[in-house]
Structures are given as C-alpha cells and as structure tokens.
Structure 1
Amino acid sequence: MKSKLKVTRSKRVKDNSENKHSHLTISLIAVAVGLLFAFLLTIATGRNPFDLLTALVRSMTGFNLQNPDSFNIMYVLNWFLNAVPIIMTGLSVAFAYRTGLFNIGGEGQIIAGSTAAAAVALLVELPPIIHPIACILAAAAAGALWGFLPGFLKAYRGINEVVICIMMNYCGMYACSWFTKVFLPIDPNTNDRTIAIMESAELKQVFSNSTSQFNWGFIVALIAVVLFWFVIEKTTFGYSLRATGFNKEAARFAGMKVERNITLSMMIAGALSGIAGALLILGIYRYGRIFTFFDNYGFDGISVALVGGSTGIGVLLAGMLFGLFKAASGNLQLFNIPKEISELIQAIIIYLVAIQYAIVLLLDKFNARKRKKKEIEEKPEGGNV
C-alpha cells in the first residue's frame, strides 16, 4: 500500500513538473514569436530592425548598441519602476485564479488603494518610516474592501464575480474621485489633483542622484512575491483556498468553510491591487489623483498572470517582461519607431499563451514524430527484436 502511495505521489510530482516546464516552454515560444513578428513589421514599414533591438537592449541594460561607450542606469531603473505595479496586479489576478476566481476588478481596487494611501499621506502625521507603511496598509484595506463585495456575492449568492468586478471598477473610479474632491486638499493651481503628500509618507528614491523615480516600492513587490508563494504553496490556509477553487463541494465535504474562503480570496486579491495603487501614489505621483480614466494596470495584471502561469516566480518574470516593453516605448520613439510596436509584442505574446493548448498539441505531435523516427533508427534491420 505504501509503495502504491509513493508511486502515485512521485507520478503527481512528475506531472506537475512537466506542466510547469511545458508552460515555461510555451511562454518562451510566445516571447520569441512576438519579438520576431515585431522585427518583421519594423522591416515592412521601412525602418531599421537594429533600431528596435537597440531600444530594447538600452531599456534592459542601459547601454546603447550604436554607441557602446555610453551607459545610463536611468533606463534600467525605469524598467524596474514600470514593472512594480504590474507585478502587484499580476499577483492579485494570479491569487484569485489559483483559488478558482477571476479578478477583473484590479482597476477599481487600485483606485481605492490609491485614494486611501493619499488620504493617510495627506491627513495623518506620522514618523518617516512608519508613515509609508501606514499608507500601504490603508491601501491594502481599501483594496480588500473593494474585493469583498464580489467575493461575498459570489460565495453567498452565486453571482458571477466578473460582472460585479467590472461594475466595481466604475464605482471605484467615480466614488474615489468624489471622495478626493470633498475630503482631501485640492491643488488650487490645477483642480484635478491634491496638493503634494507629506514628505514623511513618500517612498524615497533608491538612488537620490538619479533622474529616475525608481524607489523602495520594488522591495514591497518582492516581499509580496515571496508571501504569495509561501501562502499558496506552503500553508494549510493556502491549501484550503486552492481546494475550494478546485472543487467547492469536495472542500465542503472535507469540512472547509467554502463561503469564507471565496470571500477571503477576493479580499486578498483586492489587497494586492490596493498596494499597487499605494506604490504609485507614494513613489511616483506623490499626490492624490482625481480619476477620470483607468490606467490599465489591472488589465495588464491579467496578462502577466496568464503569461506567468499564476505562480509567484512566473508573475515576477512576466511582470519584468511587460515592464520592459512599457519602458522601451519611449526609447522606440527616439529611433522613429512607433511605440505601439511594444504593445503589439505584448498582444502577440498574450494571444499565443492564451491558445497554449494548440501549441501543446503541436509540440506533442512534433515530439511524437521525433520519438517514432528515433525508434525506427534504433530498430534492427532484421525486423522484430
């Protein structure tokens, strides 16, 4: 009996590792095809594809291939800066997905978190180190509150969370804009933002002499990745949430509190997006915003979670990749290449990962032919062995 359990367990581990490797292979193929298509399109429009490569390499390394002696770390820091909020929203979507939910409400949760962080940063006086932490916690609470209603209605009324999340996005934008106008001090020179937040609440730049706004918010994102992995993979609480997502009735039969788990899953996902809003306010804008449109960080998080396979390290790498494309859009324009090229690359990557099952079938077919060819070559000429 024990030997059977060991065989089953080893087989399950092997299957999981194969799934991870196949998803990694698909993601790498998608990135390669996206870049190849971008180079071909650049050639088709009469531009130099080497300029596209130069813009991407410069955004990633700080070196200019056309002038190897030049180096500017600002480009690398801007890459990291662009990746931070996308990583956070990617973790938000991935957490919900791993627990059987689809969080498309990241935009509203980011706005709620941004407004809460701005309120604490403007109205509450605290010491320098404690102040940004308090702002981030307030943003997490606001994001969790914005994720509570979709989770609650899904758990206790069976209402699709996608519909509620989309509605909550717009409710968040208009409600938070009203709150900002009524309760927070507005900058009289613009009337479309608050005054600057207190200096004690700011997330300081890592390199004060740099022109980049890269700040300590990147550490918050890395901590979030580690906590995501630990909670989902290494705790009984995470196992309970994942079990609920896999099969609600089986989880209920095992004694798990299904409704509570669904609600908590959406609240935790909302908290992660809310923190992304705080990092934007405290580290980049440094003032409260009156929102009239979405920044699309929440929707970018869906793409990052998809490409990253909804794992902690996968979301981190996918977030860095998409952050690179966002940072490179400015460099592309310097070489007279439309910035939409970077968006096109992202779209192709997302599309290819979305149809991953078709790619898996093609890979399986290719591997089957390869194995068959190998068997024929190894087969003796005399016939059967």
Structure 2
Amino acid sequence: MQKIIDRFVKYIKVDTQSDPENPAFPSTEKQWDLAKILVEDLKEIGMEDVTLDDNCYIMATLPSNVDFEVPVIGFIAHIDTSPDYTGTNVNPQFYPNYDGKDIVLNKEQNIVLSPSYFDDLLLYKGQTLITTDGTTLLGADDKAGVTEIVSAMEYLIQHPEIKHGKIRIGFTPDEEVGKGAHMFDVDKFGAEWAYTMDGSQVGELEFENFNAAGAKVTINGKIVHPGYAKGKMINSMLIANDFISGLPKNEVPEKTEGYEGFYHLHTMEGEVEKTNLEYIIRDHDIKLFEERKATFQKVADDLNKKLGSNIVEVEIKDQYFNMREKIEPVMHIVDIAEEAMKQLNIKPLIKAIRGGTDGSQLSYKGLPCPNIFAGGHNFHGRYEYVPAESLKLATDVIIKIAQITTERAQ
C-alpha cells in the first residue's frame, strides 16, 4: 500500500487547478505538468500506446492477455483540481490508526477536522487518514482516481496470471470547470464502456446524475444623485434581492438531498447601476429540470413586467444531462462493478450523484460510463481527506472488474 500512497502524494503535490474564466483548453497551463509526469509513469510501468494529445488528454492501453474476445473496457479520471480552493503547495498530513477524535489541521489558524461536524470520519477509525494542512485542498478529487488507475494497471502488468481483456485508460483535463469530456475522442479511446473513478465514500457506485444548467442574471439599474433620486434611481441590488426572493426559498443545496433538485446562487457582484448573479440549476428528473428553468425565467419576466423591459436579463445554458438514460440499456456494466465490490467484501452503495462527472457527458457521446468511488471526502476545500485504505480498495475494484469482465466473456 505504501507505493500507492507515495504515488498519490507525488500527484497531489503538482498544482493542477483549473480556471472557469479562461476559455482556453485546457484552462490552465499547469495541468500539462502532471500530464507529462503521467505519460512517463505510464511508460515506466509498461503501458502501451501512451499518448498525450494537443488538448491535454492522456490515453494508454493494457493489451489483452487472453486468446478469446473480451469487450474492451476503460477507466477514466481527471487531472485538474477545483477552482473553489487553492491547490498550490499541498502539504499532506498523515494520521495512522485514526482514533475517531478531532484532528487539528492547523494549530496557528485553529482549523480542526472534527467528526462532530464530518461524521463520515468515524467510518475510518483504525485506518490511516491523509489530510490537508488546513491551507489548501488535498486533490483526492480526482488524483485519488488517477493514482488508483495507474496502480491497478501496474499490478495487472506485474501479475500476468490475472487474466484480462484489452483495457484503455484515460485522464482528462478541466473536469472541474465542466469541460472534461468536451474534446474527449471516444472513437480513439475505443472502449465498449468505461468507469470514471471519481466518487467519494468506499462502495459508491453511481449511474445517475443531475441534469444541469448554468444561469447568468444581469440586472440593469440607473444611478442618479441620491438626494434627487425619487422616481429616477433604479437600484439593481434591491431588484437582485427581489429576484432571489422570487425563487423557492427551500430549494437550495443546503436544504435538499437525494433526488431533490435546487437553485444555487454561487456568485453575486453588484452596485446600483448593475448587478450580476450566477446560478447553477440542478434536477435528476428531466421534466422537473425543464420546469426549474421555466420558473427561473418567469421570475425575471414578472419583474420586467413590473419594472420595465430589459431590467432583468437571463441567460440559461444546459451543461450536462442525467446519464441514467444511456446506462439503463447496458445495466450489465453496473452489475459487473457491483459484483466486483461484493467479491472484495465491499458493500455497494448505489445512489444518484448530486453533481456530475465526465461520465455523464461521455455517456451521451456513446461511451456508457458509470462512476465508482475513489475514496476521498469533503472535496473542494481545506477539510478534504482520504483514507489510505480506500485508495487500495478502489485499486482492487479496478482489477476485479477486469477479471469479471474476462470471466463473463468465456
């Protein structure tokens, strides 16, 4: 297991934070740093057809070691980390034989990782936790997945007695800013199906995700001297408050769970003359998703009827859709992953993703792609952690999926 830990640490120390404001692809040059390291690592362990294309996608092949036809399967993870929190100078901390108590991540800043708030910690008593030092994210999302895929391929190469068909692996840039699958060449990848290693808790197996849209709201006000403003000033910030209040107040991330959708205001900038709001709109059910977008637009239309046309401008763009529609016709690929976990004494946790993965877009591009746990928790912030044992278990699941796929093809 130490080799897996060392590989994980090597990858998380490379800053690969993506940038949602940059239309370039990839959105940050520093993603190339890890991509080039991975190319060398894949060649070193013995992978074939290792490529790094002009868009920072890495692909490689583990050839079949059997003399009969086996479906070509793939495993995919993303190399970038979230723009929500800095990934510069990641300094991982190690807590062997975790005792279930508070972990002081940073004494000077009084940053504490506590099971009283993050109760998932108690699932991992007695294990080795890898945490941040409280000043950065960790990068387990998704360098845990990257580590597990490389480690599984290395193990299969070193253990030819384990029979498997042809396996393709892929590492993508810019997943965290919604572009991870945009330039992915499904035909070049050449797999019948694949799995993203991008989930959280041990046992997670997901083939449903949100339908997703991003929305920008521009509110146009009018500035005049406040002493002479009666009947003339239009304060865009106050109208913004009316817009926010016009949406269902309980349909927000902090008050929803499971299959419940939401409207999430994540950015707000304003002054009297102009206020900008940025939202994400989410729902698992496509009909409810369309209704949410219509409700969002109606709030703006109602304000414009009251205040005057073009005071409130709305732009809504679809981002990705629920992959369930594409997975259900090939549910055997979920069954294989579930069986792999059961054979490893891992309880499968089959549930819907309250978010999205590269797999959702790839499924709509013709590559059915359920999502499997990578082991990390509390992604996108200073409280992120991953148990070392989870890295090993996810690696074992990849190996076992390759075995079961081969056995079923005989």
State the TM-score, normalizing by the size of structure 1: 0.25
Structure having the larger proportion of residues in strand: 2
Q: Which has the higher contact order (CA 8 A, sep 6+)?
A: 1
